[in-house]
Amino acid sequence: MRMDEIRERTDDELETLSRQLREDLFKLRVQKATNQLDDTNAPRRARKDLARVMTVLKARHVGVEQSKKELPDG
């Protein structure tokens, strides 16, 4: 997932996406532990996507970045 795609989402959407990525990462770890994981790069991609989402959420919380939907027209 690209950063511009993440930045276009609202905070609520990002929270939901964060929860989903955490669940996916857990499932991938279980698959790896039971030798059922076909794509060995999937956990790495999931971790990086989660980090990107959390970075944007933290920046918005601190006030460094605003959601595109919150920006005033002009």
Tens of pLDDT, residue by residue over 2-11, are 999 999 999 9
Q: Left (φ > 0), alpha (ψ -120 to 50) or beta: where does 63 sit?
A: left
Q: Is the pLDDT of residue 73 over 60?
A: no
- Going along the chain from its start, the domains and CATH numbers come out as 3-62 (1.10.287.310)
pLDDT at 67: 73
User: Measured on CA atoms in the order 4, 48, 21, 59, is the torsion positive or negative?
Assistant: negative
Tens of pLDDT, residue by residue over 19-57, are 999 999 999 999 999 999 999 999 999 999 999 999 999
Instruction: Report which of residues 65 and 55 the model is more confident about.
Output: 55
> Is 14:57 a contact under the CB 8 Å cutoff?
yes
